[in-house]
Amino acid sequence: MARPGNGSDGPAGTTYDQGVSVGDPPPPIPGARLLFSLDPATAYLNHGSFGAVPIGVQRTQQRLRDEVERNPMSFFAHPGLTDRIVHTRRHLAHFLGADPDGSALLPNATAAVSLVLQSVRLKSGDEVLLTDHGYGANALAVRRQCRRDGASARTVALPLDATDAEVVSRIRGALRPGKTKLLIVDQLTSPTAKVLPVRAIADAARQHDIPVFVDAAHVPGMLPVRVDRLGADFWVGNLHKWAFAPRGTALLAVAPAWRRRIEPLVVSWEHDAGFPLSAEYQGTMDYSSWLAAPAGLFTLRTLGVEAVRRHNAALAAYGQRLVGASLGLAPTDLPDPGAAEAAMRIVPLPSGIATTQPEAHALRQQIADKLATEVAVNAWGGRGWLRLSAQIYNRPEEYENLAERLPPLLASLR
């Protein structure tokens, strides 16, 4: 297979020999790759799974850990610790357009799901409604809570190419007033990289007084957002993916009507203070990731939030078209995420490949081992999907190399 760039259709960009235009990649952000400590021998095209922490933010977190170890008693027992947590929470909440007094710092979006499920207090006969685009761990948490409470979980199917209006219509039709006690939707789905119209979904659910939990794990830093304008009862976003925070940093925003009803997963010394401190303070937990998170936002703002978003979205789209063309797919065969800033894209794999999650995990590992490339592979809707991310440290040639080497690897699996 010819490498991209062997042919050209002029200003529109490069083409493969089979005539599929893949366009031009965006210009790199100068010096961006030097901000990270990623192994240069590996093409890291999977920022969406665990993020990558800039070196400056790593050092900020290490200084905080050093502060702890110089005098653990002074750090953990000092009354100023909760003040530092509150200050950090306010900084992050302001960035996301959330009410800092109604938000709490948590380790990740998954922890927020369990906390909310516990606080909603399901009972026998109740149900939780999910979509088939949701994060797998959330479904596991829902099923466990439903088993404990005698409730049930139900899933509404959303076609990958559904319009926003179709998505809202399908979810509205699946709601069961009086029975559905919680609706969980993703703002940007993990397995399918699809942006859902969460504000319109929340409006539809509110007509029946059904609370909505929005899993926005990938939103902070990638997509512009004003949490206080979405109308969600619960919203959580991870800042350790696209906002350059250390791993273990998420913000859960809770609507006023629910704040007094939030029950922390672990009861600790700030329990009587109520939400949000009751959910945040957990004794000798490592708070360094939270306290270093503003350094991640400083890095993002220094680079230029909009410049980073434009670069990443354009590079992800370029990589999707490039890899798709290498598999014989036209641009119209490639799913559109539904937002111009989306920095994750998916590519359908050939029929019969990675159609189950174990097979998807195995293929991901083979791509890592044999092609020195990290990607995400998911089985969804009876088909395998390759998910590509783009971040400022990525280069066009990483996607070009994957496009050249992936087809022979897939052919060897048949």
Enumerate the domain spans of the chain.
7-30+305-412, 57-299
Q: How far is it, in rounded angstroms, from Cα 197 to Cα 190? A: 15
Q: What is the pLDDT of residues 312-369, one digit of tens each?
A: 999 999 999 999 999 999 999 999 999 999 999 999 999 999 999 999 999 999 999 9
Instruction: Please name the amino acid found at residue 325.
Output: A
**The pLDDT of residue 128 is above 50:** yes
Q: How far is it, in rounded angstroms, from Cα 257 to Cα 250? A: 21
CA dist 334 → 196, 328, 337 (Å): 17, 11, 9
pLDDT at 263 (0 to 100): 93
Fold of 57-299: Aspartate Aminotransferase; domain 2 (3.40.640)
Strand order through the sheet with 383-389: 344-348, 383-389, 376-380
**Length of the chain (residues):** 414
Q: What residue ranges in 80-170 does DSSP mark as E strands?
A: 103-106, 127-131, 152-156
- This prediction has a pTM of 0.94
Q: How far is it, in rounded angstroms, from Cα 335 to Cα 247? A: 29
**The pLDDT of residue 98 is above 50:** yes
Q: What is the pLDDT of residues 194-229, one digit of tens each?
A: 999 999 999 999 999 999 999 999 999 999 999 999
CA neighbor of 192 nearest in space, from 221, 160, 214, 218: 160
Q: What is the pLDDT of residues 267-326, one digit of tens each?
A: 998 899 999 999 999 989 999 999 999 999 999 999 999 999 999 999 999 999 999 999
Pairing, β 180-186 against β 43-44: unpaired
Tell me which H or E stretch contains 235: strand 234-238
What 3-state class would DSSP assign to 344? Answer: strand
Instruction: Please name the amino acid found at residue 140.
Output: L
Beta bridge partners of 344: 389
Q: What residue ranges in 38-171 does DSSP mark as E strands?
A: 43-44, 103-106, 127-131, 152-156
Q: Which CATH class is domain 7-30+305-412?
A: alpha beta
Residue 224, Cβ neighbours under 10 Å: how many?
Answer: 13
Strand order through the sheet with 250-254: 103-106, 250-254, 234-238, 212-215, 180-186, 127-131, 152-156
pLDDT at 10 (0 to 100): 34
